[in-house]
Chain A
Amino acid sequence: MKALVSVKRVVDYNVRIQVKPDGSGVVTDGVKFSVNPFDEIAMEEAVRLREKGKVTEIVAVTIGGAKCEETLRTALAFGADRAVHVKEEGEVQPLTAAQALAAVFKKEGAQLFLLGKQAIDDDANQTGQMVAALLDLPQATFASKIELDGAKALVTREVDAGLETLEVDLPAVVTTDLRLNEPRYLKLPDIMKAKKKPIEVVSLGDLGVTAAAGLKATKTAAPPKRSKGVMVKTVDELVTALKGKGLI
């Protein structure tokens, strides 16, 4: 069975985000970029499924500019067999990304599509669900456990009420939550090997995708800042302070 995994290049989760003074976006020059953490989890899961003999081939895909090749090399170092780079230097909003990813999934004839539940830059949490909708496939989002069983998958999902389990027919789209697994550290030989693996470059046009009408960003602002409060020395002082503000 073939699995497709999408990987997105995002600002590293440790970076302190700065909003540009003119409100046109956030500062990304000279900032560290990494693979979206949820996509690393998706990649790791695909590799584990292959180690269990459930998956035979893993293809990684990304949409973005030339720098995204790094992202694909990371996916290849994790263990993807090959990669598809949908090259687009401009902005790609979720529906357009979903259209492109759906086209790649169809072209590859994959049975399982693993995506992160959200990208930590735009935090949209939409793309996987949109891919599933466009392909009329089952979706199991926010997965914390995946069991493949022949033509079906049993997926445990992290929902507000607790843990929900769904059974879906394959092919299916699954988005990953944090507790699905802990991604491995990449070893140097794997990173070296990844340099030789093939990356196919295609354009949105090659996939028959024209960007959908999008949201227009009118302004980016810093959130209101919380100011540092007061330090109290004892529990009694704390109780007095909270009572003083009518909080207890």
Chain B
Amino acid sequence: MSKILIIGQQADGKLSSSIAKVVAAAKLIGGEIEVAVFAKDGSAAAAEAAKLDGVTKVLQIDRAENDHALSAVVAPQVVELAKKGYSHVFAPGTTFGKDLLPRVAAKLGVQQVSDVMAVHGPTSFDRPIYAGNAILTVEAPAAPAVVATIRLASFAAVGSGGSAPVEKVSVDAALPSHTRFVKLEAQKSERPELQSAARVVSGGRALGSSENFKVIYALADKLKAGVGASRAAVDSGYVPNDMQVGQTGKIIAPELYFAIGISGAIQHLAGIKDARTIVAINKDAEAPIFEVADFGLVGDLFQVVPELTSKL
């Protein structure tokens, strides 16, 4: 039977919303599902993990060194833990999981399966390659363990009606001091988080300035939507990097996506393939974004978007 270890990403004691999606992927395999929380004090995050449907046990590994969850520090602990009879080690496809898990896989001597988007069985998975323009089905060796990151846009979060036991464990691993946290400059926003928002409004190069992005924010606020951007808008400094949607930014799957003044480059489309409904607003009727949009409107965004905002 499978025994799955999920790395319970947390920040400031709060469990990441991505974990409920990783549990959903694990449930497709079945067996025991354990979530390990590495923190300075992981009590609150562990309690949240314990509620997720399908979780059979939560492991709380409290250590002062785990405060900022540095991969160089967390990886040796995961490796020690993973050796205790786990068939699978899963992490979310967040920047945290992508940074951490290959370090674990290499130590265990296994190839990692990156960005699992479908589970066919305990060792058979689909993953996207070439910016999602091809889907590869892979068979991973079962021993010593299957190590995989989970593509969040492909799985719906499990509910939180469970009550798994929480066990405090200590892991015996030597931790390096060669990597030190200096600071995190986080964007504070009252808007829904991009990766879990049901609606997202994104703006592209056409916005022309950060000042002009206010037409995007106004529409987003009316829709209670998260806000995203193309790489061109980020590179031009209109918005911060954490808003980039696409192959090398965030992969999202909202119910409703607005692409405004975005041409629809394949790298951008890679981030929105799983959006339920795509609305495109662009002044160029030939823009490739219209090839994938469910609803397209040709027009000048500086007229169309304020009008749309006022009519909602």
Contacts and interface: CB of A to CB of B under 8 A. Distances in A.
B is a partner of A: yes
Interface of A: 11, 13, 16-17, 19, 26, 93-95, 98, 117-118, 120-134, 136-142, 144, 154, 157-169, 172, 177-179, 212-223, 226, 228-236, 238-239, 241-242, 245, 247-248
Interface in B163-208: 176, 178-187, 195
Nearest to A219: B137
Nearest to A167: B180
Contacts of A168: 178-180
Contact of A215 (B71, B99, B130, B140): B140
21 contacts: A26-B134, A95-B106, A124-B114, A129-B101, A130-B103, A138-B176, A138-B178, A142-B95, A159-B96, A159-B242, A160-B94, A161-B184, A163-B240, A163-B241, A166-B181, A220-B129, A220-B134, A220-B137, A229-B295, A239-B312, A241-B295
B256 interface: yes
A133 B106 contact: yes
A238 B247 CA distance: 28
A64 to B, nearest CB: 17
Contacts of A219: 136-137
Contacts of A245: 277
B33 interface: no
Interface string B239-259: 011100001101000011000
B180 A166 contact: yes
**What range describes how many residues of B lie at the interface?**
35 or more
- Output the residue of B103, B104, B181, B195 with the most chain A CB within 10 A: B103
A215 B111 contact: yes
Contact of B304 (A13, A144, A231, A235): A235
A123 B261 CA distance: 27
B112 A123 contact: no
Nearest to A234: B297
Contacts of B297: 231-235, 238
A114 B99 CA distance: 15
B102 A126 contact: yes
Given A229-B294, A247-B256, A160 B96 contact: yes
Interface stretch (B20-28, B45-53, B285-293): B285-293
B71 A129 contact: yes
Given A13-B267, A236-B311, A230 B136 contact: no
Contacts of A223: 128, 132-135, 273
Interface of B: 11, 70-72, 75, 94-96, 98-107, 109-115, 124, 128-141, 176, 178-187, 195, 223, 231, 234-235, 240-242, 247-248, 250, 255-256, 266-267, 273, 277-279, 290-298, 304, 307-308, 311-312
Contacts of B134: 17, 19, 26, 220-223
Contacts, number: 243
- Output the residue of A160, A168, A213, A214 with the most chain B CB within 10 A: A160
Contacts of B71: 129, 139, 141
A123 B273 contact: no
Contacts of B111: 93-95, 212-215
A94 B231 contact: no
Contacts of A214: 111, 141
Nearest to B280: A229
A163 B102 contact: no
A166 B72 CA distance: 11
A239 B308 contact: yes
B139 to A, nearest CB: 4
A161 B11 contact: yes
B236 to A, nearest CB: 11
A137 B231 CA distance: 31
Contacts of A93: 111
Contacts of A229: 278, 293-296
Nearest to B194: A160
A10 to B, nearest CB: 9
Contact of B115 (A123, A144, A158, A231): A123
- Output the residue of B75, B178, B181 with the most chain A CB within 10 A: B178
B176 A136 contact: yes
B131 A123 contact: yes
Contacts of B241: 144, 158, 162-163, 179
